[in-house]
A and B are shown apart, each in its own frame.
Chain A
């Protein structure tokens, strides 16, 4: 319940749905390397160079919890669907699963090689997929012995390692990529290969897959390949082809001017945009992928290299990790003047105003007609109790909210006593008489209110609009 359809109702009118400017930074004290939003975007986990995981409360932009678990840099983070678990992988080969509320480790395992990526199953918080360096991706089930962890199927190629693996939105499939440019869709329970294809390149040499991301809602997949081209595939196309098929991307994106290689590529929360971060400098390119138009380039501080970036699941906000801190990119806010008063309309150019019927009449002969409009319908049923199901997160991949494990949207706060008040005391079952007799009955003014209405004919809203130099032209 982080964002209602109500807010979307208001925000839709603002048009643009991608961030445009630098808003600020989150400084974790230690050098930040990687970050991940929880499902509702209320918490942001940031993995640091010294192995700490900072969980930021994204509403108040303050650190809610610091988990100290790794001693080596954190390489990857992933939230479970309900936010109760955070999985982390570090470059010394340790994979940990943490309980968000307590910060205690639930499960951990040491591998002999660095782990590039860990991802929690989108539906099941006991299953994880990990990508160890120069090995096949593995499927991990919490509680079962490590020896039984199955590797995802290797390709026919001589090289048997994966560069990336990612769950589909429902978690029923896993997509893996390798250094030969081969992408395989695997059933996540049976581990049968459902479909596979090679990235089609213009030359003869195959290109390595760097990252794969799945969009929310729309059934698409974005592949970041070493040949600097971002390819977007429809999952239906891939599955339709079966094994060793030829799949044409739905869209190809690249930077023809700078020939950038991309460090990270990801979808926007609604799946309309694709954002790519360059590997050498702190720059983020945003495309509207259906048309292939580059809509925005966000430039970070010069001389910094981008480590990781993520799009807020609901809002047009991007966070990028660079120079050891987390930068937040958000929309430039244009004051919506019509929000301040109901009959106010913003115009792009002057128009001739047509007065309403009877607007300047001394006596309104049509009054009864107007009143009819404001008639309230008695039979109109008003339900003030029952809560509508929030569809904000239920994209095509969502069927039911999990009732058994309520989502963790926040970490409860336990504020410490900062300035204990000397005169604060508590009484258990205080005798009423003693309260009455303690002489506070002074003739002073009543604490609250009699707040009589000011006589200035409610000029508040008018002053608000006219008093500002940016005040737009009104229709009347």
Chain B
């Protein structure tokens, strides 16, 4: 779909991009094909360190095609990195204040970014241009996400409001007061019918996208602030990162905790966590930490597999490659670098 030419340019094949369902299917097929049970995981090593941001880095995302990495920073810049040669392919400029969250559409053609300047911007990845400026939030935009079809965007603000946007027209469809504290993360379920929001008020909520009504609330007993919540690759579980140094895996249909991952430090920042799927069928959980490391846990045993050291400030953003065993991480203010870790 998207390939990077030798000179670093991003090029699209001329045909209509494959439906996103196919991309996901192919990725999963690829996973199952490479599966060899029992193989030990080779440890991850730093492949490159990218320096470009002038302030702390807030969010990292891999392009669904797997060969681009996008980073956003408090310096209001958004960079697209080529994973192969650590070159910056594109720079997306337009935000007036720091960018808090970014998200690629599932076909990889577009990117959205939510910023402290209270706007959500829609970018054409290939042309590197802003094509929509969505202005309706009354506060900083802390999180944003796409539905699978790519026709609907949701963005969550510091005031706890989530706004659904029609991509086609750029108009807001609905505005829902989801939380009383900032919406720290939001994600659509793979089938686009359910939206998952997490907030520092300590709640994770599931919403019916088509009507905007609350379906369920998940809360941990001691009610710690939730820094991040995301669906598992198959959408059956959610991974919730609490700001008390624990990450929990929930079976949200049965409201049951399945796993707890601890060991990292997380008290102050909304640090995202993610699933890392690898060739031999092992799944790991990845999260940054306030002790400047990246932690990787084995999903099955809950033990720490590896910690990645090298950053010199709080590792806020991490991202996992869509189908390879590859992790990207970035840190705040004192560090400002993007690191890519591969076996």
Known: A440-B75, A453-B243. A10 touches B180 (CB 8 A): no
A386 to B234, CA, bound (A): 6
Of the stretches B36-44, B54-62, B304-312, the one at the interface is B54-62
Question: Taking the complex as formed, is A15 at the interface, i.e. its CB lies under 8 A from any CB of chain B?
Answer: no
A430 to B50, CA, bound (A): 13
A444 to B236, CA, bound (A): 41
Complex interface: chain B residues within 8 A of A408 (CB): 19
Within 8 A of A (CB), among B234-280: 234-237, 243, 249, 253, 255, 257-260, 268-270, 275, 277
Known: A384-B232, A406-B21. A10 touches B215 (CB 8 A): yes
A463 to B201, CA, bound (A): 12
Known: A376-B260, A447-B75. A64 touches B168 (CB 8 A): yes
Question: Taking the complex as formed, is A362 at the interface, i.e. its CB lies under 8 A from any CB of chain B?
Answer: no
CB distance from B292 to the nearest CB of A (A): 15
The answer on a CB contact under 8 Å between A376 and B148 is no
The answer on a CB contact under 8 Å between A451 and B184 is yes
The answer on a CB contact under 8 Å between A406 and B22 is yes
The answer on a CB contact under 8 Å between A101 and B16 is yes
The answer on a CB contact under 8 Å between A448 and B180 is no
A405-427 CB mask vs B (1 if < 8 Å, else 0) is 01011101101111111011111
Known: A341-B219, A451-B270. A385 touches B234 (CB 8 A): yes
A464 to B160, CA, bound (A): 12
The answer on a CB contact under 8 Å between B128 and A432 is no
Q: Which of A1, A335, A416, A432 has the most CB of B within 10 A?
A: A1
The answer on a CB contact under 8 Å between B235 and A451 is no
A7 to B89, CA, bound (A): 40
The answer on a CB contact under 8 Å between B191 and A59 is no
Complex interface: chain B residues within 8 A of A426 (CB): 90-91, 127-129
A430 to B216, CA, bound (A): 47
Complex interface: chain B residues within 8 A of A4 (CB): 189-191, 193-194, 235
Known: A10-B206, A435-B52, A448-B316. A388 touches B193 (CB 8 A): no
B294-309 CB mask vs A (1 if < 8 Å, else 0) is 0000011110000000
Question: Taking the complex as formed, is A367 at the interface, i.e. its CB lies under 8 A from any CB of chain B?
Answer: no
A7 to B194, CA, bound (A): 7
A42 to B177, CA, bound (A): 26
* Cβ-closest chain A residue relative to B249: A382
CB distance from B232 to the nearest CB of A (A): 4
Complex interface: chain B residues within 8 A of A430 (CB): 88, 91
The answer on a CB contact under 8 Å between B259 and A413 is no
The answer on a CB contact under 8 Å between B99 and A447 is yes
Q: Could you say which of A378, A423, A464 contacts B93, with CB atoms under 8 Å apart?
A: A423
Question: Taking the complex as formed, is A145 at the interface, i.e. its CB lies under 8 A from any CB of chain B?
Answer: no
CB distance from B242 to the nearest CB of A (A): 10
The answer on a CB contact under 8 Å between B191 and A1 is yes
Q: Which of B147, B191, B209 has the most CB of A within 10 A?
A: B191
Complex interface: chain A residues within 8 A of B87 (CB): 429
A101 to B90, CA, bound (A): 30
Known: A7-B193, A451-B184, A451-B269. A446 touches B98 (CB 8 A): yes
Q: Which of A11, A60, A101, A452 has the most CB of B within 10 A?
A: A60
Within 8 A of A (CB), among B180-221: 180-182, 184, 189-194, 199-203, 205-206, 208-211, 213-219
Within 8 A of B (CB), among A295-333: 315, 330, 333
The answer on a CB contact under 8 Å between A447 and B233 is no
A425-456 CB mask vs B (1 if < 8 Å, else 0) is 11111101001101011001111111111100
CB distance from A78 to the nearest CB of B (A): 22
A411 to B48, CA, bound (A): 39
Q: Size band of the A side of the interface?
A: 35 or more
Within 8 A of B (CB), among A335-392: 335-336, 339-342, 374, 376, 378, 380-388, 390
Q: Could you say which of A376, A383, A416 contacts B259, with CB atoms under 8 Å apart?
A: A376
The answer on a CB contact under 8 Å between A460 and B52 is no
Complex interface: chain B residues within 8 A of A245 (CB): none
The answer on a CB contact under 8 Å between B270 and A448 is yes
Known: A4-B191, A62-B168, A447-B55. A333 touches B129 (CB 8 A): no
A340 to B179, CA, bound (A): 10
Complex interface: chain B residues within 8 A of A440 (CB): 54-55, 75-77
Question: Taking the complex as formed, is A6 at the interface, i.e. its CB lies under 8 A from any CB of chain B?
Answer: yes
* Cβ-closest chain A residue relative to B223: A458
Complex interface: chain B residues within 8 A of A447 (CB): 55-56, 58, 73-76, 97-100, 115-116
A257-282 CB mask vs B (1 if < 8 Å, else 0) is 00000000000000000000000000
Question: Taking the complex as formed, is A461 at the interface, i.e. its CB lies under 8 A from any CB of chain B?
Answer: yes
The answer on a CB contact under 8 Å between B214 and A340 is yes
* Cβ-closest chain A residue relative to B98: A447
The answer on a CB contact under 8 Å between B93 and A424 is yes
Question: Taking the complex as formed, is A57 at the interface, i.e. its CB lies under 8 A from any CB of chain B?
Answer: yes
A395 to B238, CA, bound (A): 28
A101 to B16, CA, bound (A): 10
B1-41 CB mask vs A (1 if < 8 Å, else 0) is 00000011100000011010110000010010000000000
A458 to B226, CA, bound (A): 11
- 14 pairs across A/B with beta carbons < 8 Å? A2-B191, A9-B253, A60-B169, A418-B131, A424-B92, A424-B129, A429-B8, A436-B52, A446-B333, A448-B59, A448-B100, A451-B184, A451-B268, A460-B181
Instruction: Given A417-B129, A418-B131, output 14 extra A-B contacts at Cβ < 8 Å.
Output: A60-B151, A60-B166, A336-B214, A340-B205, A387-B190, A415-B132, A417-B124, A440-B76, A446-B55, A449-B270, A451-B184, A460-B179, A461-B219, A464-B180
